[in-house]
Amino acid sequence: MPSRSHPPDEDCWPLVAVAGLVSFVAMLDMNIVNVGLADISRTFAISPGAAQWAALAYQLPVVALLIPAGRWLDQVGLRPALLAALTGFTVFSLASALSPWPAWLFASRVAQGIFGAGLFVLMPVVAARAVRPETRGRAMSVPATLGPLGAIVGPAVGGLLLDAFGWRTIFLVKIPFCVLAFLLAKQYAPGGGTLRAPERRALADGGLAAIALTSVLLALTFGGDDRRWLFLLAVAVVPFILWLRGPGAEPVRDLLRDPGPGRVTLAVLALAAAFGAMNYLVSLHLQRTDGISAAATGLTLLVFSAAMAVLGPVGGKLADRWGARRTAVTGAALTAAGLLLLLPLGTAWHPADVAWRLAIAGAGMGLYGGPAQLLVLTSAAPERMNTAGAVVQLGRSLGFALGPALATTAWALSGYGPNVLAGLVLAAVAACAAVVLLALRPAVPVHS
């Protein structure tokens, strides 16, 4: 079916829906597999540590290849790139579900992560290009809201599927969403441009970036259990410096040196770290210290998601009418306020006392998500929009990884006591820093 291009003065909301679906399934896959690791371990008679690679084999290439994918996608057509990424993601999701042995599963997950990196970069760009500049706030709020919701509901949905049908269904649940996104993209994505293989130098630069980021992520993932993994932080230094000095990093250097997207990207990283630390510490404290059941803890944390889902569309509308920066600053300030209100709780927590504070923080995240992404994309030159999307996605992903790791370190330094105050202070400080970074206006005008 030929693509149905839309006039530049009209909005294409079906294409925005594609961005939302892509965001949901890509983030869903980040967490849903975790609930099936024990069953995967039993099915293939492998250790729990080995089974963990069913999750890591997807997560590591997604994050490690974001920057190389962004650079490459700036040089190819949006429609063929989107269709190819959706096709590969879907095919290897099916291959993962049909895995007859562990090596097949891990290889399928790596391939799925490679295509997933493309989807992560494309989803904000697709939403931004689908509509006129005056409605971009509303469009950007769709993937910015559905992505985190996918990450949060993943474990709950995965648990239900696991109990009813087994672990293979957690790889199949995404396929209907992918097929719908593919059909909509095929019909509505604008034509033009072709796919071509990356240049040799680009592949080398991408390999260096991937080695450095993979080393950092592995150190953060396993360093809490075995400190020897932390030596990988030193391993990451050399490939990172080589990549940073190479031509492949030039657009990224230019982007981060620009006070517009550079500050917003740091704010995204800080707020993602604050969210990751808060989510980890609240769950830990309620169950470990207060003896709250897992179900009650899940419902308490769900308040955050519900508030974010309700305020996400509101944030998009406010960004279009009031301005993306004001809306993002307001949302970040609300999130910081919710985290600051957790500090006086002391050691004895009640779910109701925690829930209304999480509702404030979640409302802020809903207001902030779409406008913050919009600030980054519109601060970058149009020909580097995919690179800008990749950088902000990398900042968010690193924040989600850094938050729990730093919170664990702060908790350990306080003696692993019943009070997680040190980690919560760290989260609140990170959120307050994000407010300041977002409030600082660049000295140069943004691109439309």
Do the domains 252-441 and 1-195 match in fold?
Answer: yes
Which pLDDT value is given to residue 316?
Answer: 85
Ranges of each domain in the chain: 1-195, 199-245, 252-441
How many residues appear in the chain?
448
**Helix/strand/coil (H/E/C) assignment for every residue in 406-446:** HHHHHHHHCCCCCCCHHHHHHHHHHHHHHHHHHHCCCCCCC
> Whose structure tokens read 């087994």?
166
**Which class in CATH covers the domain with range 1-195?**
mainly alpha
Which pLDDT value is given to residue 443?
Answer: 55
The rounded distance, in Å, linking the Cα atoms of 88 and 95 is 10
The rounded distance, in Å, linking the Cα atoms of 21 and 85 is 13
Q: Report the chain's terminal Cα–Cα distance, integer Å.
A: 31
Coil, strand or helix: which one is 160? Answer: helix
Ranges of the chain whose pLDDT falls below 70 = 1-9, 49, 155, 193, 202, 220-226, 248, 251, 255-256, 259-260, 287-291, 294-295, 380-383, 412-419, 442-448
Which pLDDT value is given to residue 340?
Answer: 94
> Whose structure tokens read 């938050």?
403
Which pLDDT value is given to residue 278?
Answer: 86
Q: What is the pTM of this model?
A: 0.77
Q: What are phi and psi of 9, to 5 degrees?
A: -95, 10
CATH topology of domain 252-441: Growth Hormone; Chain: A; (1.20.1250)
Which pLDDT value is given to residue 389?
Answer: 76
- Take residue 294 and report the two structure tokens written for it: 């897992």
- Take residue 48 and report the two structure tokens written for it: 């729990």
- Take residue 286 and report the two structure tokens written for it: 């309620």
- Among 324, 331, 282, smallest CA distance to 307 is for 331
Which pLDDT value is given to residue 446?
Answer: 47
Which pLDDT value is given to residue 248?
Answer: 66
Axis crossing angle, helix 78-97 with helix 102-129, rounded to the nearest 10: 150
